[in-house]
Amino acid sequence: MGVILLLAVFVVSASAIGIAYVGGVDSDADEVVISADLSANGTDLRVDHLRGDALPNEALAVVVRANGNATRYPFAPPLGEFAPGDSRAFPDALAANESNEVALYHEPSGEQIALATLTPEPEPVTETGSIEGTVVGPGAASMRVASGASFGVRQVATPLVGATVAVDGAGRVAEATTGSRGAYRIDGLEPAEYEVSAAASGLALSATTVDVDPDETATTTVEVLDAAIDAVAYVDRDGDGDPDEQYTPVELAFLGSVDGHLVVYDDVEVTAAADRVTIRDGVTIRADGVSLESGGNLRVGGDLNARGATVTTAARDWIFASAGDIGLTVGGTADLREGRFDATGVGLSGGRDGRITVTAGSGVLTDGASFDPDLA
């Protein structure tokens, strides 16, 4: 067995340096000298070779003792040497908020090279918040005035039991199931903006957004819609003028591209792509950025039932407001007559307007239409 003389060991809560002479090992000198530093980075252990001779990885190991347990971490694999300037990291080798006795050993001799007592600083605790509320959906039917000033039947919203609620934000998704009276609650959420969505059997997905603050509970009610009653758009795939599929506002927002004639007949936030797009008279489209694409004719605020439609990405703010862009792309004729297109940004200290662009294969009709700012 070789002889080791530990000249100095400096023990601190964050790191410790050990200097040792190891005899009886292969070396050009009579003895091998090694100076090593043991330190903590959170619960990760780091060993640095400060100066001295190189030693084979398979000759070295660290032992961590905490909470009555001892864990050995060998340097090999990989094979090779632990030389001056080298470092080894052992992720999560240290117990958080505990005193860890860490020793670096030269295993062939069984001698200790360095010793440290490391107490990782507790990781900062993130103050969390909660979201609670109620999910409601179609219940008994009642009469109301529907869009377009025509009478229609709408079902009264009642609490839904057994609906699935998901909150998406801050890099995670959490779920809950509504209990009695449609109530739900999700705790342990980091402060951020979350999308809260709800789904129930036989009904359309519905969603809203809510901000979560530290140590606060945000409350929101999510209404799950019935597509047959609460739809704002439909697609006509075979050209017969009848709806082949209807869409609620949430479904339309996530619709993507569809084949056929997409008709939007109620106010909505939308990005739509279809063979043909029609925005009915009096409908307002609002979004951070509007992009309507059509392979055929695009009618926004056109004659007949499309006059007077509004497309806006306007932004207003107390400080600085930045508006989104409005982009209209159509393979045929773009009929924008009598429409209003607003992409202005207005704030007390300034604003940035969005761009309004129209690309049409067979011409653009703009009689009576207003554009703010002007068409690019």
- Supply the pTM of this predicted model: 0.40
CA distance 92 to 23: 33
pLDDT of res. 117: 93
The answer to whether residues 309 and 301 touch, using CB atoms and an 8 Å cutoff, is yes
Cα separation values, 266 from 23, 182, 232, 278, 341, Å: 87, 28, 5, 11, 17
Cα separation values, 204 from 45, 135, 163, 197, 360, Å: 51, 13, 11, 11, 34
Number of Cβ within 10 Å of residue 344's Cβ equals: 17
Order across the sheet with 272-274: list the strands: 272-274, 290-294, 326-330, 356-360
Separate counts of helices (H) and strands (E) for the chain: 2, 38
In a 10 Å sphere around its CB, with 0-12 CB exposed, 13-18 middle and 19+ buried, how is residue 62 labelled? buried
CA distance 206 to 166: 11
CA distance 70 to 100: 10
CA distance 283 to 265: 6
The answer to whether residues 261 and 235 touch, using CB atoms and an 8 Å cutoff, is yes
Domains annotated on the chain, with CATH:
34-118 (2.60.40.1260), 129-138+157-226 (2.60.40.1120), 228-287 (no CATH), 297-375 (no CATH)
Question: Digits of tens for pLDDT over the chain (376 positions)?
Answer: 333 333 333 233 344 555 555 554 444 444 667 888 999 988 999 999 988 888 999 999 999 999 889 999 999 888 889 999 999 999 999 998 889 999 999 888 888 888 999 998 766 667 899 999 999 887 543 333 333 333 333 445 688 899 999 999 988 899 999 998 899 999 999 999 999 998 887 776 778 889 999 999 999 988 887 666 667 777 788 878 777 877 776 666 666 667 777 777 776 655 555 556 666 655 665 555 455 544 444 444 332 233 456 777 788 888 888 887 877 776 677 778 888 888 898 988 888 998 888 877 777 888 888 899 998 7
Tokens representing 333 are 């004729």
